[in-house]
Amino acid sequence: MTFSVLIFTYLYLRSPSLSNLMQISCVCRYPLGMSGGQIEDKDISASSQWSESTAARYGRLDFEDGDGAWCPDMSVEPESTKEFLQIDLRSLHFITLVGTQGRHAGGFGKEFAQMYQIKYSRNGRRWVSWRNRHGRQVIEGNKNAYDTVLKDLEPPIIARFVRFMPITDHSMNVCMRVELYGCEWLDGLVSYSAPIGQLMVHRGQHIYLNDSVYDGEVGYSSGMTEGLGQLTDGVCGLDDFTHSHVYNVWPGYDYVGWTNESFPGNYVEILFEFDRIRNFTTMKVHCNNMFPKKVKTFRQATCFFRSSSDWEPTPVTFSPVMDDVNPSARFVTVALNNRMASSIKCQYFFADAWMMFSEITFQSAKYLLRFSPGDDPTHKVDDSNTRILIGCLVAIIFILVAIIVIILWRQVWQKMLEKASRRMLDDELTASLSIQSETFTYNNNNQSSAGSEQESNSTYERIFPLGPDYQEPSRLIRKLPEFSLSMEEAGTSGVSKPVQAGPQEGVPHYAEADIVNLQGVTGSNTYSVPAITMDLLSGKDLAVEEFPRKQLTFKEKLGEGQFGEVHLCEAEGMQEFMDKDFSFDVSNNQPVLVAVKMLREDANKNARTDFLKEIKIMSRLKDPNIVRLLGVCVCSDPLCMITEYMENGDLNQFLSRHEPEGQIALACNAPTVSYSNLHHMATQIASGMKYLSSLNFVHRDLATRNCLVGKDYTIKIADFGMSRNLYSGDYYRIQGRAVLPIRWMAWESILLGKFTTASDVWAFGVTLWETFTLCKEQPYSQLSDEQVIENTGEFFRDQQRQIYLPQPACCPDPIYKLMLSCWQRNTNERPSFQEIHQTLLGCLV
Ligand SMILES: *[C@@H]1O[C@H](CO)[C@@H](O)[C@H](O)[C@H]1NC(C)=O
Ligand SMILES: *[C@@H]1O[C@H](CO)[C@@H](O)[C@H](O)[C@H]1NC(C)=O
Ligand SMILES: *[C@@H]1O[C@H](CO)[C@@H](O)[C@H](O)[C@H]1NC(C)=O
């Protein structure tokens, strides 16, 4: 278990290597400067303009200057999509989102583009039409002159120049205001050239391993040249290459793959061209390793370097350790030994009949630091580091809010806003999400500047913000009248007034942590730890002992994450190993079952440090209702932590197998559970949470799936959920990437990214509800994920339109009342775990 959201966040930001593992191109979404002004007028041009007052420079989202937008001169060129608005970003950017608006002009304008296309270019010469993953070029634009419509670019674009090309049917004029969202492309990779990916026929199934989004030239003899595509689109393939993250595509979509039959030299050669000469530290190749299907990572990579006209004679050769045990896809890291080059040519040797890659990223050392004479270089480093850190934190917080707001925006409030008068938009509401400095005070000083030397460490880390002043989320929020009210006032009046919304109570924001947790770095996770507590807890030496590894016998895999796995094992001699005061949940002479969380041997240093920290934190948690850390194996690799496991598995599965006492159970001879058993279990969960909250731990994912059941209905709170496929339906994927247990989350966690003990209380209410429905249905099972999020908006607005979970059949009134109190809108009106525990003890009928 990870108790260390913040540490993870922190390490993740500090140690780029961790971030590799996260698919967070959804984090790279900053406005690139049309509305903020960073893009200068001279860099905005157009094919034509209708008048001087509708020139290209007026095409800035949310600006009302000139006549309020860019409008082309459509009378000249009747052909559609000949007109364009062009933006020069001055350097390569990774662009993930675009926003468009029509001409509003204070209510006088009514022109907008219902549809448009996008073209882009990296060098200003070769232009490519953007297509989505299904090959469609046309993007749906605006429906009125004032709303901003945001569209995800899937796949994202890597470009310096972007053109918006409105499509019209000539029944109306079009005008556009636009914004691009993304971040700088720090890998510096301009193109790769590779042989065409091939077709695999496996048991009659056709698996297309072509590069589905390659934007360069494709010729049958020349292969793919001059483009970028799947290997840089920020999406890592799944373990099973026949499946994909992407909806409704052909098998093999995520990978580019080749068979050894077509390569007599037994290797595939890929040429990488960069924007300038760089000092390369590493290359990371995300490979499939499904060896039962004859797919393996490469056996050897030999890379040649070129910084002028000739290839240097000495290559760098690297042979990874082959893994015949674990069929998971993984990043293989090749050290490039600080070679300087502007082109790299690598030969990847087959280890089996097939080789499949889904991402390749390059990391290069930063150019010599630029500091003026007299500056203290170390200061400079720290400074930039802090800025990056702060930037990232701000960004992640904003992004989560933004994503959610966008969802809400699209689905709930769009209609409402259309009706709402434009007056609202004109009101200068000055609400902005102020991010308070507490959020950034978790820097732990002895973790120095690992992140600063490297310019970019992965695809997902292109994610450096352009500055701390991006304002998109608040701008969106500004348009929603509710958000302009402070939390207490919202919903009580329909009149907007300028008040600051956002984190004001000094409660730290943990939104950023989501993204860190989501991939379950070492298998599972999620208690978040305020830094203070963390220091308190980890100040002392490790309070847990080394357990002899050979006494562990593997039984079953419980889950897995990017860096490790969780196994169910039998531990021989565990009873003797533990203190006398610790009693196991087994009869004597029975083997003790334990959950063993293992760090993969190839995990990097930061993952290891992290893992050790986690051990430290966990070793301090001692409560009868919290799963205990029993022992560790840290003397040799792989690092393991051994925690309790209980014979009845998790509470969700346990309750699903049972029926309430009564007629039905008798009739079908099912195992039963009585009301008092349920009550007893709920009380224990409350007790465990009381303990966690007394230490200021925030669990963040309390649910029945994360509680273990032992003998006599004993309960211990654990956390395995995220990594188990069994429960994937309980988590909601945002943009296909971030996953959140939205049905258990408090409204403020979803909307504002706030995770506190009070939001744990909310989740406790849902857990209580699950318990009393015997987990026979998912919370809000009749609502789709989107509707759950809409409902969250209703909780926020508090106009009595929110839907509460219903009272379960066998749930007495006082217990249901307790649930409802957990779902109070205002966090300070929710009971504390102390109170909940008392109430539960008191209402035993
Ligand atoms: C890749 O293969 C699929 C399936 O045959 C095909 O639809 C798609 O057009 C191909 N893409 C490219 C870029 O060749
Ligand atoms: C490349 O970067 C490394 C580490 O930053 C540095 O030690 C080395 O001198 C650099 N190489 C060149 C040729 O600049
Ligand atoms: C391709 O790889 C398979 C499995 O390693 C091997 O049996 C076969 O001989 C190889 N084919 C060629 C042409 O090298």
Contact 689, 717 (CB under 8 A): yes
For residue 140, the SS3 value is strand
Of all protein residues, whose CA lies closest to atom 12 belonging to ligand 1? 212
35 vs 497, residue with greater confidence: 35
Region for 552 from its dihedrals, namely left if φ exceeds 0, alpha if ψ lies in -120 to 50, beta otherwise:
beta
8 Å CB contact between 377 and 249: no
Q: How far is the CA of 279 from the centre of ligand 2 (A)?
A: 6
Atom of ligand 2 nearest to the CA of 340: 13
What letter would DSSP give residue 333?
A: E
Mutate to test the pocket of ligand 1, among 208, 218, 231, 253 (most ligand atoms within 8 A of CB): 208
- CA 366–ligand 2 middle distance (angstroms): 9
Which ligand 1 atom sits nearest the alpha carbon of residue 213?
13
Residue type, 413: W
pLDDT higher than threshold 80 for residue 432: no
Alpha-carbon gap, residue 478 to 460, rounded angstroms: 29
What kind and span of H or E run contains 11? helix 5-14
List the one residue out of 463, 445, 516, 483 whose CA is nearest residue 722. 516
Q: What is the pLDDT of residue 785?
A: 82
Residues above pLDDT 70, as percent of the chain: 70
Q: What are 8's two structure tokens?
A: 């993870």
Cβ of residue 365 lying under 6 Å from some atom of ligand 2 = yes
Provide the pLDDT for residue 264.
Answer: 92
Q: Which ligand 2 atom is nearest residue 368's CA? A: 14
pLDDT tens digit sequence for 141-175: 999 888 889 888 988 999 999 999 998 776 678 89
> Are the beta carbons of 457 and 20 closer than 8 angstroms?
yes
338: Cβ below 6 Å to ligand 2? yes
Q: What is the pLDDT of residue 8?
A: 30
Cis peptide before 638 (omega within 30 of 0): yes
Residue having the nearest C-alpha atom to atom 4 of ligand 1: 208
List C-alpha distances in Å: 178 to 63, 97, 103, 382, 499.
Answer: 10, 11, 11, 36, 28
Most confident of 80-89, 262-271, 451-460, 784-793: 262-271
Out of 68-72, 515-519, 534-538, 715-719, which region has the weakest mean confidence (pLDDT)? 515-519
Letter string b/e over residues 707-720, b meaning 16 or more CB atoms within 10 A of that residue's CB: bbbbeebbbbbbbb
Dihedral sign, Cα of residue 745, residue 751, residue 756, residue 761: negative
What confidence score (pLDDT) does residue 24 get? 36
Q: Which of 211-220, 359-368, 744-753 has the lowest mean pLDDT?
A: 359-368
Residues whose CB falls within 8 Å of the CB of residue 800, separated by 6 or more in sequence, listed in order = none
Q: What is the pLDDT of residue 313?
A: 94
Query: Could you give all domains of the chain from N- to C-terminal order, each with its CATH number?
Result: 3-184 (2.60.120.260), 190-381 (2.60.120.1190), 535-644 (3.30.200.20)
Q: Is the pLDDT of residue 586 over 80?
A: no
Residue closest by Cα to atom 6 of ligand 3: 353
Does ligand 3 come within 6 angstroms of the Cβ of 260? yes
Helix, strand or coil, per DSSP, at residue 81: coil
Q: Determine the average pLDDT of the residues in 44-71.
A: 91
353 lines ligand 3 (CB under 6 A): yes
Q: How high is the pLDDT of residue 428?
A: 24
Protein residue closest via CA to atom 2 of ligand 1: 208
Whole-prediction pTM value?
0.49
Looking at the DSSP bridge assignments, the partners of residue 640 are 598, 633
User: Can you give the pLDDT at residue 725?
Assistant: 46
DSSP assigned state of 445: T
Q: What is the pLDDT of residue 391?
A: 64
Q: Is the pLDDT of residue 522 over 70?
A: no
The widest CA-to-CA distance across the chain, in whole angstroms, is 90
Residue nearest to atom 5 of ligand 3 (CA): 352
Q: What pLDDT, on a 0 to 100 scale, did the predictor assign at position 777? A: 84
Q: Is the pLDDT higher at 605 or at 176?
A: 176
Question: Which segments of 669-772 does DSSP mark as H helices, in order?
Answer: 675-694, 747-752, 757-772
The atom number, within ligand 1, closest to the CA of 214 reads 13
Q: Which residues are catalytic?
A: 701
pLDDT at 419 (0 to 100): 40
Q: Which of 147-156, 430-439, 633-642 has the lowest average pLDDT?
A: 430-439
Pick the more confident residue, 617 or 836: 836
Give the model's pLDDT for residue 407: 66
Phi, psi of 387 (to 5 degrees): -65, -40
Round the average pLDDT of the chain to a whole number and report it: 74
pLDDT score of 388 more than 90: no
The CA distance from 702 to 767, in Å, is 7
pLDDT surpasses 70 at 819: yes
Indicate which atom in ligand 3 lies nearest the CA of residue 353: 2
Among 115-124, 717-726, 759-768, which is the least confidently predicted range?
717-726
CA distances from 198 to 84, 210, 288, 641, 702 (A): 37, 6, 15, 42, 45
Residue 681 predicted with pLDDT over 90: yes
Tell me the mean pLDDT in the region 556-580: 76
pLDDT of residue 816: 93
Among 210, 246, 254, residue to substitute to test ligand 1 (most atoms within 8 Å of Cβ): 210
DSSP-assigned beta bridge partners for residue 543: none
434 close to 474: Cβ distance less than 8 angstroms: no
Q: Which ligand is nearest to the CA of 355?
A: 3
- Which of 163-177, 252-266, 492-506 is predicted with the least confidence, judged by mean pLDDT? 492-506
**Dist CA 511 CA 740 (whole Å):** 11
pLDDT at 424 over 60: no
Q: Which pLDDT value is given to residue 34?
A: 93
Ligand 2 mutation target, pool 338, 340, 363, 368, most atoms within 8 A of CB? 338
444 CA to centre of ligand 2 in angstroms: 28
- Check if the beta carbon of residue 336 is closer than 8 Å to that of residue 264: no
User: Cβ neighbours of residue 144 under 8 Å, at least 6 residues apart?
Assistant: 102, 112, 418
- The most confident of the ranges 11-25, 158-172, 280-294 is 280-294
Split at pLDDT 50, 70, 90, the class of 657 is: confident
**pLDDT exceeds 60 at position 285:** yes
- Cβ–ligand 3 distance for 261 under 6 Å, the answer yes
Q: What angle, rounded to 10 degrees, do the helices at 531-538 and 5-14 form?
A: 100
Q: Which residue has the higher pLDDT, 170 or 281?
A: 281
- pLDDT reported for residue 22: 30
pLDDT band at 289 (very low <50, low <70, confident <90, very high): very high
Q: How far is the CA of 243 from the centre of ligand 3 (A)?
A: 25
Q: What is the model's pLDDT at position 373? A: 35
Please tell me the predicted confidence (pLDDT) of residue 696.
82
**How far is ligand 2, taken at its centre, from the CA of residue 367, in Å?**
9
pLDDT band at residue 560, thresholds of 50, 70 and 90?
low
Question: Which of 279, 307, 449 has most ligand 2 atoms within 8 Å of CB, for mutation?
Answer: 279
